[in-house]
Amino acid sequence: MQEKLAGVNSIMEALRGKRKVHKIYVQEGRTGKKIDELLRFAQKKAVFVQYVEKQRLDEMYTVSNHQGIIAQVDSYEYSDVDEMLEKAAMAGEEPFLLILDGMEDPQNMGSIIRTAECAGVQGVIIPQHNSSEITAAVARASAGAVEHILVARETNLVNCIKRLKDKGLWVIGADMEGTSDYFNCKMPSPTVLVIGGEGRGIRRLVRENCDLLVKIPMMGSVQSLNASVAAALVMYEVLRQRRD
């Protein structure tokens, strides 16, 4: 199956990644340094480019602003957890995986995947139900980072966590019920970090199967952070401790 990607960053990273890009539609008169670079790269990859009127692009992509460029690409191909562990082993790195438990907002999911890719996470695990999929909106919110990180869908996160623990990974949940502030806690490695969905946080059974629960201290009147901000704080604390 195929889908449409829009936006310069999303399409450039798709060209650089594993997905096949079949065709690119560009708005007539659209120029600029970034788009010129993209079109040169597309030419090297032998991707057909067609110039069309803005109205045609508006009709093709109604989700949000297409930035004057749309690509027809293969649908996102999911990975599996074993491939993530193999990727870490091949790179000589300790596994660092991320579980998103019920992240339903595409913008949050895309932002978290972008941060995860930057922080050296080898793979992101999402549930098959009650979660956003890797859609064009997620790809765009990730600034194309979805093209460079493995994402797996699991029917049962609790069973997945148990399998990872059997393989020697430590599961850390970021949760308001955590016993320690995340920056005062030694993060065990190899690491699986669990981030809960917007509003409800980590589900009870998933939380009960975590080895460790850490929290982000809240000093103001608002008692919660955006999920992508919370995820970024804890991911980079894991990275900081690894580098130290």
How confident is the model over 161-174, as pLDDT tens digits?
Answer: 999 999 999 999 99
- Mean pLDDT over the full length of the chain: 93
Which tens digit of pLDDT belongs to each residue from 26-85?
A: 999 888 899 999 999 999 999 999 999 999 998 988 877 888 999 999 999 999 999 999
Question: Under the phi-then-psi rule, with left for phi > 0, alpha for psi from -120 to 50, and beta for the rest, what region is 56?
Answer: alpha
- The contacts of residue 64 (CB under 8 Å, 6+ apart) are 6, 137, 140
Q: What's the Cα-to-Cα distance from 41 to each of 3, 14, 23, 139, 232, rounded to whole Å?
A: 20, 11, 13, 19, 31
* pTM recorded for the entire structure: 0.91
3-class secondary structure for 137-193?
A: HHHHHCCCHHHHCEEEEECCHHHHHHHHHHCCCEEEEECCCCCEEHHHCCCCCCEEE
Which domains, ranges and CATH numbers included, belong to the chain?
A: 2-74 (3.30.1330.30), 81-243 (3.40.1280.10)
Confidence of residue 122 (pLDDT cuts 50, 70, 90): very high
Which tens digit of pLDDT belongs to each residue from 82-108?
A: 999 999 999 999 999 999 998 999 999
